[in-house]
């Protein structure tokens, strides 16, 4: 970027975070605050004391320990000159003896009255402050930084942190254990200017620019993770990224060696290395994720649909003439060029680009529908399309290797402990919806697929009912066929020299003696020795034959 060029708010945020992570922070074991203690007379806001003889008093709060600190020496307001002072109802700390910045303030559990000539003493260790968001942070964590905006309650008084609320009087921060003002750089600050400041307190700009709420919190915890805490119990957005793209993307942010196409992204997250051990005894419960959205919801006031991750892509204008690009809202891609942990004799592991999973745990009662995946398609009146698919399963690229065992474009399975599916593929007008297949459509169809071995192969299945079944027609597991009526051939007159479209019967080389089993009706066969047509009579429980004359007639 050229020197002096103005950056967007998000680029400023990235720069500020970089400064935070690489800056050499001061030693942790230093005083949390060195400044001035003030007395106040307000209620709900801080109003500084105005009585005669009043002045702020120097005060020091010792090093933070698990977010707690107290004053290291006593202080005394007064003596009061002239009239009695207004009752002291609150205290505050400033960074200057007069004027300056109001760092924080808190109400007093017991107000103080100061008569003429009297004083308001503060004992050593008499003020305990416990910063809520630092309560679990060890005192030896120098990398910890936290920011609060003006008006935020960020702690409590009292040795146990159960006293009065401590409110930020300005945008403040704790960085390396020091409580101070967090100045916000002006919009348009260049990267060089921000970096020159080299001040961890500039994290305040992240809180202000990124969250944009007077009660939001942004922080780096002791491990260097960015924490965002928008206002609790509110509709405040945690992250709002707004971008307006223009120009030409000439440099890919992720190369084609990573994905089937080089890519440009408006928001890009990269994890360059992962060599973490995941306990194999916890497979299915301990998984390494690149990104997780953990969305919890529910309650007496909760109403309406909930979606943990929503992706919306909207084309607002026509693309370039002749553009053949595919457009979509979600693209999931998995790539490997490394062996698994198995061997040729014992392969292990698996790859998947997406793995939807839904679970109804014990207590999830009275739900109407549970779906692992739902694909909805809509082409409205006034639009046009050449091909329309609910799900399109396509081999791509250099796909050239078939699986050594099972291979299918669509596989329906179940783990051994599950109950399995009652229907593999179901066509229905579920819940009174419209008919799924048009009146001029087909349940299953083929178009230009070439030569295959089998149409439908059910040879590995065992059937207690029918292998195929439709009105007036069924085939059982043994191949026995039941027909409402039989039409052989094309239904037209065959030429006398035809070589096909004949009715074919099984034949024996002798008179049949067996009793047909599992067949309804009167089965027939041809005796090729005596040249007779034999049919079995179920009523007479015997065979009957019809002798035929040699030669066509």
pLDDT digits (tens, 9 = 90+) for 322-346: 887 888 888 888 888 889 888 989 9
The predicted pLDDT at position 466 comes to 92
Under DSSP, the state recorded for 211 is: I
For range 60-74, the mean pLDDT: 91
Instruction: Indicate whether 42 pLDDT > 90.
Output: yes
Instruction: Indicate whether 520 pLDDT > 80.
Output: no
pLDDT per position as a tens digit, 532-548: 999 999 888 899 998 77
Instruction: Indicate whether 298 pLDDT > 70.
Output: yes
pLDDT per position as a tens digit, 472-485: 889 988 888 888 87
Instruction: Indicate whether 72 pLDDT > 90.
Output: yes
The predicted pLDDT at position 207 comes to 36
- List the domain boundaries for the chain: 9-229, 507-547
More confident residue, 482 or 513: 513
The predicted pLDDT at position 48 comes to 97
More confident residue, 298 or 280: 298
The predicted pLDDT at position 401 comes to 94
Using only C-alpha atoms, the chain has a radius of gyration, in whole angstroms, of: 40
pLDDT band of residue 364 (cuts 50, 70, 90) is very high
The predicted pLDDT at position 202 comes to 37
Instruction: Indicate whether 215 pLDDT > 70.
Output: no
pLDDT band of residue 209 (cuts 50, 70, 90) is very low
Q: Which among 179, 57, 175 is positioned nearest to 130, based on CA atoms?
A: 179
Q: Which range is least confidently modeled, 67-71, 124-128, 143-147? A: 143-147
The predicted pLDDT at position 8 comes to 39
pLDDT band of residue 69 (cuts 50, 70, 90) is very high
Q: Which among 90, 61, 56, 91 is positioned nearest to 73, based on CA atoms?
A: 61
The predicted pLDDT at position 118 comes to 96
Q: Which among 12, 34, 67, 16 is positioned nearest to 199, based on CA atoms?
A: 16
Quote the Cα angle for 334-336-337, to 5°: 155
Contacts of the segment 537-544: beta carbons below 8 A, 24+ positions apart: 541/515, 543/511, 543/512, 543/513
pLDDT per position as a tens digit, 132-181: 766 555 544 444 556 777 888 889 999 887 899 999 998 887 876 788 88
Q: Which range is least confidently modeled, 75-84, 377-386, 430-439? A: 430-439
Cα separations (Å) of 205 from 49, 130, 146?
32, 24, 12
pLDDT band of residue 126 (cuts 50, 70, 90) is very high
The predicted pLDDT at position 3 comes to 39
Cα separations (Å) of 107 from 145, 180, 236, 411, 452?
26, 20, 28, 67, 84
The predicted pLDDT at position 223 comes to 46
Tokens of 66: 């698990």
For range 206-223, the mean pLDDT: 39
Instruction: Indicate whether 217 pLDDT > 60.
Output: no
In 307-407 the beta strands, taken as DSSP E runs, fall at none
More confident residue, 178 or 228: 178
The predicted pLDDT at position 59 comes to 97
The predicted pLDDT at position 361 comes to 92
More confident residue, 363 or 242: 363
For range 267-276, the mean pLDDT: 78
pLDDT band of residue 230 (cuts 50, 70, 90) is low
Q: Work out the mean pLDDT of the chain and round it to a whole number.
A: 79
Distance, CA of 137 to CA of 135 (rounded, Å): 6
Q: Are 120 and 143 in contact (CB under 8 A)?
A: no
Q: What percent of the chain has pLDDT over 90?
A: 38
For range 12-24, the mean pLDDT: 40
The predicted pLDDT at position 232 comes to 65
pLDDT band of residue 397 (cuts 50, 70, 90) is confident
The predicted pLDDT at position 212 comes to 32
Under DSSP, the state recorded for 541 is: T
For range 435-453, the mean pLDDT: 91
Tokens of 132: 């809520």
Instruction: Indicate whether 321 pLDDT > 70.
Output: yes
Q: What are phi and psi of 17, to 5 degrees?
A: -65, -40
Instruction: Indicate whether 27 pLDDT > 60.
Output: no
The predicted pLDDT at position 20 comes to 43
**Residue 155 belongs to what H/E stretch?**
strand 153-157
Q: Are strands 473-476 and 466-470 parallel, antiparallel or unpaired?
A: antiparallel
Q: Which range is least confidently modeled, 13-17, 159-163, 281-285? A: 13-17
Give the number of other Cβ atoms within 10 Å of residue 79's Cβ: 15
For range 267-287, the mean pLDDT: 74
Distance, CA of 527 to CA of 510 (rounded, Å): 6
């Amino acid at each position: 970027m050229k020197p002096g060029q103005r950056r967007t708010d998000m680029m400023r945020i990235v720069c500020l975070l970089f400064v935070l992570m690489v800056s050499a922070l001061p030693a942790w074991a230093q005083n949390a605050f060195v400044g001035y203690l003030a007395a106040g007379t307000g209620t709900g806001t801080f109003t500084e004391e105005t009585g005669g003889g009043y002045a702020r008093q120097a005060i020091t709060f010792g090093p933070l320990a698990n977010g707690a600190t107290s004053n290291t020496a006593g202080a005394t307001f007064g003596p009061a000159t002239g009239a009695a002072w207004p009752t002291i109802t609150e205290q505050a700390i400033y960074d200057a003896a007069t004027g300056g910045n109001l760092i924080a303030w808190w109400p007093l559990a017991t107000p103080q009255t100061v008569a003429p000539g009297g004083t308001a003493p503060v004992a050593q260790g008499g003020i305990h402050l416990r910063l809520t968001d630092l309560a679990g942070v060890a005192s030896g964590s120098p990398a910890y930084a936290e920011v609060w905006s003006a008006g935020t309650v960020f702690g409590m008084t009292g040795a146990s942190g159960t006293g009065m609320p401590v409110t930020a009087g300005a945008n403040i921060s704790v960085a390396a254990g020091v409580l101070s003002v967090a100045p916000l750089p002006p919009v348009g600050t260049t990267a060089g200017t921000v970096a020159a400041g080299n001040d961890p307190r500039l994290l305040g700009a992240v809180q202000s620019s990124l969250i944009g709420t007077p009660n939001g919190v942004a922080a780096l915890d002791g491990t260097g993770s960015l924490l965002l805490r928008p206002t609790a119990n509110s509709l405040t957005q945690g992250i709002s990224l707004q971008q307006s793209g223009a120009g030409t993307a000439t440099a890919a942010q992720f190369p084609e060696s990573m994905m089937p196409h080089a890519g440009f992204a408006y928001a890009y997250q990269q994890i360059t290395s992962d060599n973490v051990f995941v306990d194999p005894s916890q497979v299915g419960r301990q998984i390494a994720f690149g990104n997780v959205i953990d969305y919890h919801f529910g309650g007496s006031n909760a109403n309406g649909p909930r979606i943990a991750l929503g992706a919306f892509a909207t084309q607002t204008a026509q693309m370039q003439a002749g553009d053949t690009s595919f457009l979509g809202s979600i693209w999931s891609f998995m790539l490997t060029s490394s062996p698994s942990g198995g061997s040729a004799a014992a392969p292990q592991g698996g790859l998947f680009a997406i793995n939807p999973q839904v679970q109804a745990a014990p207590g999830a009662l009275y739900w109407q529908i549970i779906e692992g995946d739902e694909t909805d398609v809509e082409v409205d009146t006034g639009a046009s399309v050449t091909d329309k698919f609910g799900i399109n399963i396509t081999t791509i690229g250099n796909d050239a290797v078939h699986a050594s065992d099972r291979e299918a474009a669509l596989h329906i399975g179940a783990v051994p402990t599950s109950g399995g599916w009652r229907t593999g593929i179901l066509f229905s007008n579920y819940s009174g919806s419209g008919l799924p297949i048009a009146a001029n459509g087909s349940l299953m169809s083929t178009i230009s697929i070439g030569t295959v071995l089998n149409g439908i192969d059910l040879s590995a299945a065992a059937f207690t009912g029918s292998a195929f079944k439709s009105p007036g027609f069924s085939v059982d597991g043994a191949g026995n066929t039941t027909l409402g009526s039989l039409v052989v051939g094309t239904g037209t007159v065959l030429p006398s020299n035809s070589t096909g479209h004949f009715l074919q019967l099984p034949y024996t080389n002798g008179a049949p003696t067996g009793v047909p089993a599992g067949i309804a009706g009167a089965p027939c066969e041809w005796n090729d020795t005596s040249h007779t047509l034999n049919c079995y009579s179920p009523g007479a429980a015997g065979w009957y034959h019809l002798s035929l004359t040699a030669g066509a007639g």
